[in-house]
Structure 1
């Protein structure tokens, strides 16, 4: 007699995938919009000679870039983990 766990009895993977995907897509869109906004503000502040605002806009640009990268990697990571979980 073989005893194996019943992985089909655990539900909700499809709902979890759609919820996490929707939340991370919202974060990704917001980060890309902030990336564009900070780049514009950095250019305007640099051309007008306001170096303090240019520094803050550059910092915001790098934070938005990091957030967009992490959000994009987060979608791939969650999909990878859910696919691995189905094949255990």
Structure 2
């Protein structure tokens, strides 16, 4: 990702995999292993872009709110790295 204002950039591995259940309501439930890029506007993480790594789940409500939970979760704020 690149901050267009400063030119700061960050490259990372987001090669994890997920099984996603998508519901007619618009809700989703992800079962994830490994690092993936997650954008959060509302949820249990602060607003931003994260590389989330480990073994975890992501619940996404019909309104887009995201809840990341699991026994092994590491988050790395991409926004902080390119600020």
- Relative to the length of structure 2, the TM-score reads 0.22
The structure whose Rg is larger is: 1
Higher share of residues assigned strand: 2
- Relative to the length of structure 1, the TM-score reads 0.21
Q: Relative contact order, CA 8 A, sep 6+: which one is greater?
A: 1
Higher share of residues assigned helix: 1
